[in-house]
Amino acid sequence: MRKNNLYIVICCMMLIMAASCKKDFMDRFPQTSIPPDLFFKSEEDLALYINGLISLPDRWSYVSDQNTDDKATTSAQEIKSMMTGTPNSQNITGGWTWSRLRNINYFLQNYDKAAVTQEVKDHYAGLARYYRAEFYLDKVKRFSNVPWYSRALNPSDTVDLYKSRDPRTLIIDSIMTDLEFAASHVKESVPEGTPGKWVVKLVYARAALYEGTYRRYHTELNLQNTANSFLQKAAQIANEIIASNKFQLHGDYVALFNSASLAGNKEVILANIYDQDLNRSGGNNGYINNYEQSLSRDLVQTYLMKDGSRFTDQPDYQTFSFVQEFQNRDPRLSQTFMYPGIKLAPNTQPYVLRLNKNFTGYHQLKGYINTTDSKVNNSVDFPAYRYAEVLLIYAEALAELGTLTQGDLDKSVNLLRSRVGMPALNLAAANGNADPVLASKYPDVTGANKGVILEIRREKRVEFAAEGYRFDDLMRWNTGMELEKIPEGMYFPGLGKYDLTGDGVEDIILIDKTASIPPSGSQEANSLGVKLVYYKAGSYGEDVTVYLKNGKNGGPIVTDNKVRQFVAPKYYYRPIPFNQMTLNPNLGPQIFGWD
């Protein structure tokens, strides 16, 4: 049944290609190739079209978040280029694509022609409006103010084609209206691999939390007094999902990310299904393991100790070795990072992490499939929407509203902690002893609930590390300044031999830039008879393999040396591309200092 359903969905994806215009929106006029009088007749037609609009988070989410403090990256990421260059509307040109909206609105103009019940019509209209809400939320995140279109345009629609941008408030209200309709009409029972009622509600709660916190912390919008209504909606919808008793956390955190099938997993509200036999391959081990990105030391230090105390409260934590960092920690650290002593197939000996220029030394485990069987690697499902997010939305919204209770924590955040054997978060203790490290990261957090808000933010970062959430969180919390910090890696006190597998036996040796790496036959072996891995170490930019902050005198690994400047509030937004402004001057002026 799973394969049959998936095959149908894959085939449906081809329909939307027929409906798509081959030219860009606004400057080139669209034409559709699906005559409404001939197509929109049955439920099968509606389903075929709607399934062609499916767009789910996928396994490439594991290699996202390269724009954040969670990862160092060697790729040309937009925000990194902005902070180190001279960005303007001529070189920041992405995101202004509208063909998906046209496909959605074309359906909404024609679905009512089908000879089906109103309930069936409303279900498919709800899905279309859900997709439209997602589309516009992405546009708001990038541009804030954009034109709102509720119908597909024709070449004769010159007024709408050349209209100005609508204000953020109108766009957000329209998004919420679409999501309210979708949450009320999309059915719970839907084909496997497609979104239903509970996915819609999760996205509804997510959107409300995003806008509520964005308005609270972004004073440049002058919308702070409207934030609470969105936070209340986020808490309400999240609580509806919780109260449904349809979902619960899966007992094995790791199994969420390495299971061949997530069918029946009660935490996974919707999985993105991969199956090599159906030409749905998702293997990306090579990209995860030291290809362009590597996890940061800042993320390592965010995880708590196993007893619930703060890692950053330990004396000299900044000089802990790789092996020390993983001792007695929140188990999710070793379920997200490759840990000392891990064995990677097909080897039977512990893996010695490789060090490379511009990488932190930390390797990612979450999303990595520890096998040499390509079919197994290519056929692991991705948990696109997780119940864990619902719990965190609920807790964060109530904390921001100032109404969070210990009972609320116990039915949300503390379920996440209990799942991995971590002590419960105590409301009074958190607020009475706010983490100074987190407080410095999030200086806008104030008030009686400061401590617990910081801890909820920690929990979100840890629970969803390397799943593609961090950038949006930094943006909505008004913490773009964190991106100015160049990600660092493992700490080494200087040249010498080091254990990376945790058995007390040295695995690598750092030598001076002026020394020569001996030929293989002359290289030193450790007490187990295994040859040490040699690396030249020095300062950034020198002819070495490992860049240390203080050169041969040690320090954390450094990954870059270009000064980064995050210009606020400008860099929380993107400019309308220059060519679009030329074609339609009514889109101007640019906002927040863009030109």
Comparison of pLDDT for 269 and 279, the residue scoring more:
269
Contact indicator for 564, 573 with CB cutoff of 8 Å: no
pLDDT at 193: 95
Task: Give the whole-number percent of the chain exceeding pLDDT 70.
Answer: 94
- What's the confidence (pLDDT) of residue 455? 99
Predicted confidence (pLDDT) at residue 174 exceeds the cutoff of 50: yes
Give the pLDDT confidence score for residue 27 in this predicted structure. 33
* pLDDT recorded at residue 268: 98
Tell me what the mean pLDDT of segment 278-290 comes to. Answer: 86
Asked whether the predicted pLDDT for residue 19 surpasses 70, the reply is: no
Whole-structure pTM value: 0.95
User: What pLDDT is stored for residue 33 in this prediction?
Assistant: 63
321 backbone φψ class: left, alpha, beta (φ>0; ψ -120 to 50) = beta
For residues 313 and 65, the model is more confident at 313
Query: Can you give the pLDDT at residue 21?
Result: 36
Q: Would strands 488-492 and 382-386 be described as parallel, antiparallel, or unpaired?
A: unpaired
Phi–psi pair at 152, nearest 5 degrees: -75, 140
pLDDT at 22: 33
> Which one, of 180, 163, 34, lies nearest residue 103 by Cα?
34
SS3 assignment, position 546:
strand
For the stretch 326-339, pLDDT in tens is 999 999 999 999 99
pLDDT, tens only, 383-438: 999 999 999 999 999 999 999 999 999 999 999 999 999 999 999 999 999 999 99
The sign one gets for the Cα dihedral 417, 422, 426, 430 is: negative
Q: Look at the chain and count its residues.
A: 595
Average per-residue pLDDT for the chain: 94
CA atoms of 129 and 160, how far apart (whole Å)? 20
Q: What is the pLDDT of residues 88-138, one digit of tens each?
A: 999 999 999 999 999 999 999 999 999 999 999 999 999 999 999 999 999
Return the CATH class of domain 2-53+95-187. mainly alpha
pLDDT at 145 over 60: yes
Predicted confidence at residue 155, as pLDDT, reads: 82
Average pLDDT over residues 145-167: 93
pLDDT tens, residue by residue, 571-592: 999 999 999 999 999 999 999 9
Q: List the chain domain ranges.
A: 2-53+95-187
C-alpha 46/C-alpha 107 separation (Å) is 8
Query: What is the signed CA dihedral for 309, 465, 240, 182, rounded to 10 degrees?
Result: 160
C-alpha distances (whole Å) from 460 to each of 311, 324, 555 are 17, 24, 29
The DSSP bridge partners found for residue 492 are 555
User: Rounded to 5 degrees, what angle do the CA atoms 406, 456, 334 make?
Assistant: 115
Task: Say what the pLDDT of residue 35 is.
Answer: 83
Check whether 13 has a pLDDT greater than 70: no
> What is the H or E stretch that residue 538 is in?
strand 533-538
For residue 2, the model assigns a pLDDT of: 46
- Rounded CA separation 485/520 (Å): 39
**pLDDT at residue 319 is higher than 60:** yes
Q: Which residues contact 22 (CB under 8 A, 6 or more apart)?
A: none
For residue 292, what are its two tokens? Answer: 């362009």
